[in-house]
Amino acid sequence: MAQDAAGRISKQSPHPYLAGNFAPVYTTHPLTPCTYTGEIPASLAGGQYIRNGSNPLLNDEQDRMYHWFDGDGMLAGVLFRKVEGGIQPQFVNSWVETDILKANRKLGASGSKMLGWPWRITRPIPPSISTLVDPTAGPSAVGKEILRTVLIRFVSHLPWSKAKIRRISVANTAMLYHDGRALATCEAGPPIRVGLPGLETIGWFNGAFAEGEESRKHDNGLPQFAGSLQITTAHPKVDEETGEMILFHNISNAPYVRYSVLPSLETLTANPRRITEAPVLGMSTSRLMHDFGVSKRHTVILNIPLSVTPSNLARGKPMVQYNPREPSRFGVLPRHDPDKIVWFEDDPCIITHTASTWDEYDADGNSTAVCMLLCRLIAPDIIYQAGNLEPPPILSTHEHWRPPGTGHGDGSETSDGSSSRTEESHICRLHYYRFPLNSGNSPRRPSHSFPLSAVDMEFPTVAPGKSMQNARFVYGCSSRSTQVNSADGSLVKIDIITKMHAGELVRRGRESSPRTRRPVDTRLVGDVSLTDGNDNSHVQLFALPPGIYAGEPRFVPDGGANEDRGHLLFFTFDEEQLLPTGDAPRGAASELWILDATEMKDVVAKIQLVQRVPYGLHGEWFTEEQIRGQRSRASKHI
């Protein structure tokens, strides 16, 4: 049987994303030595791999509405500590001490008497994403959950409260490093700083400095995020050459999106072009935006037809709706001139994550186009599936937005020969777009749009420093049993690590057909040699043994000249450890695998962790230099 945060025995959750290795863990460990097999690459010495994920503290009501993205943030990491004669891996995990976590902990453990209430809170304070997106949820049910959150937050600010809720972010999505700070992110609030390698929470980052760090006069004079602008993307982009962090703020009122460029302390004097909360022009409503693209000179805002409209509740409609009768719009703007944004329109789609964005130049060095690689679907299945909800019906192709003057959306007359559009709607593919900057058409359209491979792929990652360049290789996740994003109730379980030779696939695609739904490489998972890295294929797949599942891989270079010289790091869990009931026993444990990224065949080392790491979201690699280069902390922090 599973245990809750208080150590009580609980039955297996009926919700699939609260069961098995999705179930939360409650034990945290300081840096603890681990055993391992194989040989740890010398390139990992002194660095640390950290993965963020959803781990709900309050889990009593296991039949509640729940979404995989709801839970409190928990970081799990492995430090590759240098020791005499080699490397000693050490495991560490820690809660991200957000306002919500601390309130959940206080109100869930001791009751709400400190707020003048006689009862104990038994489920998370924020409303579940599932409640907000459920097509069958009535306005009264949604309104009740929102009102509950507003009321608890209001009461938390009364004089006698010991659990003030200033921000509702659970910081459970991703990690990044900028300007001497390791930051945990979530798009419900600002980033929050954590210390490396111990993962202690230091404080919220406001665009100028983080609470809990040593005060610097220069930082205190910089503009700060204010009000709703504290809500930032979960995927800020950091330019390793200029030291800038680029991010957007998705808000519910006009202009709906704002934009910031934050230089690092080291480059601020030489490059003082700091932008804070500049409006992004051309948005007509609030959208659900998770990611975006940044090249060396441009930023691409993704305005997909997935709207967030609170007023829908009064009309008996869900707050979040996907409307394929509208186009997907791509706003391309110069990094330091957001007023010069130009918009491109293309077929409606869902974009989960971007892999890389880069500029094309003419002979004089002028930008002529912006290109992107990203993960694309034509239906929002993942949003519903991760909440154990039935996705709404899919509109027929004839009801989708089409470019003026065409009978069908571009490429609708073509097919990969294997599936209909309805079946394709559940497939997430690595997709290429090219936006010509000298196009005189109105509205503008991408000159190129096509998928690279028929293989389902999500959680893309590239070599460090390549996300703003034309990356030759993109790594990610897939599955041999179902799509990574499925509409049939299947869980998001990853048992294939993918490597796309993106540079070559893009070249071939541009030569054959600029706009098509047909993938450049039409082979499905079953047609590609699993774990065979020597077939000269432009799609390489590493299949995990049956019953073992992985998470997002993170590429770490080994210093070689080739872009793919390095290793992929990812957590794994063997589900043979689960009990017949489906519960994870107390002694269950995960591993960190280190895969040779060049051949995609050999796991060179396996780190045996001291406990289970639930399936989670995004990870990051922090170098020894970054760990050493962290900003000083104040004597006291969160």
Condensed to tens digits (0 to 9), the pLDDT of residues 92-130 reads: 999 999 999 999 888 876 555 545 455 677 888 999 999
Domain locations in the chain? 100-156
Measured from the Cβ of residue 270, the count of other Cβ atoms closer than 10 Å reads 9
The reply, when asked if residue 400 is annotated as ligand binding, is no
Q: Does 5 have pLDDT greater than 60?
A: no
Q: Is the peptide bond before 436 cis (omega within 30 degrees of 0)?
A: no
Give the separation between CA 117 and CA 114, rounded to whole angstroms.
Answer: 7
pLDDT number for residue 10: 44
Confidence (pLDDT) at 7: 42
Q: Rounded to an integer, what distance in angstroms lies between the CA atom of residue 126 and that of residue 119?
A: 17
> Amino acid identity, residue 323?
N
The answer for residues whose C-beta is within 8 angstroms of residue 154's C-beta and 6 or more apart is none
pTM of the model: 0.92
The DSSP string of 241-253 is TT--EEEEEE-SS
Query: Kind of pairing, strands 48-54 and 192-194?
Result: unpaired
Query: How many residues in the chain?
Result: 638
Could you give the CA distance from residue 61 to residue 69 in angstroms, rounded to a whole number? 17
Q: What mean pLDDT do residues 53-75 have?
A: 90
C-alpha 260/C-alpha 224 separation (Å) is 11
Longest distance between any two alpha carbons in the chain, whole Å: 73
DSSP at 126 = S
Annotated binding residue at 235?
yes
Tens of pLDDT, residue by residue over 526-544, are 888 765 444 568 999 999 9
Please give the mean pLDDT across all residues of the chain: 87
Distances (CA, A) of 128 to 67, 146, 428, 626: 6, 9, 25, 35
**Between these two residues, 15 and 196, which has the higher pLDDT value?**
196
The pLDDT of residue 536 = 60
- Closest by alpha carbon to 183, among 260, 96, 69? 96
Ligand-binding site membership of 15 (annotated): no
In degrees and rounded to multiples of 5, residue 251 shows phi and psi of: -125, 165
- Report which of residues 140 and 617 the model is more confident about: 617
Using alpha carbons, select from 242, 273, 417 the residue that is nearest to residue 336: 273
For residue 356, what are the β-bridge partners? 373
d(CA 120, CA 161): 15
Task: Enter the tokens of residue 193.
Answer: 């700083």
pLDDT of 9 reads 37
In tens, the pLDDT along 504-524 reads 999 999 998 888 889 999 998
Query: 371-387 b/e with 16+ CB inside 10 Å = b?
Result: bbbbbbbbbbbbbbbbb
Q: Which two tokens stand for residue 609?
A: 């962790």
The amino acid at 332: V
pLDDT band at 636 (very low <50, low <70, confident <90, very high): low
CA-nearest of 500, 519, 516, 416 to 459 is: 500
Q: Positive or negative CA dihedral for 187, 189, 194, 199?
A: negative
Q: pLDDT tens for residues 219-267?
A: 666 777 876 557 899 999 999 999 999 999 988 889 999 999 999 987 7
Is 618 annotated for ligand binding?
yes
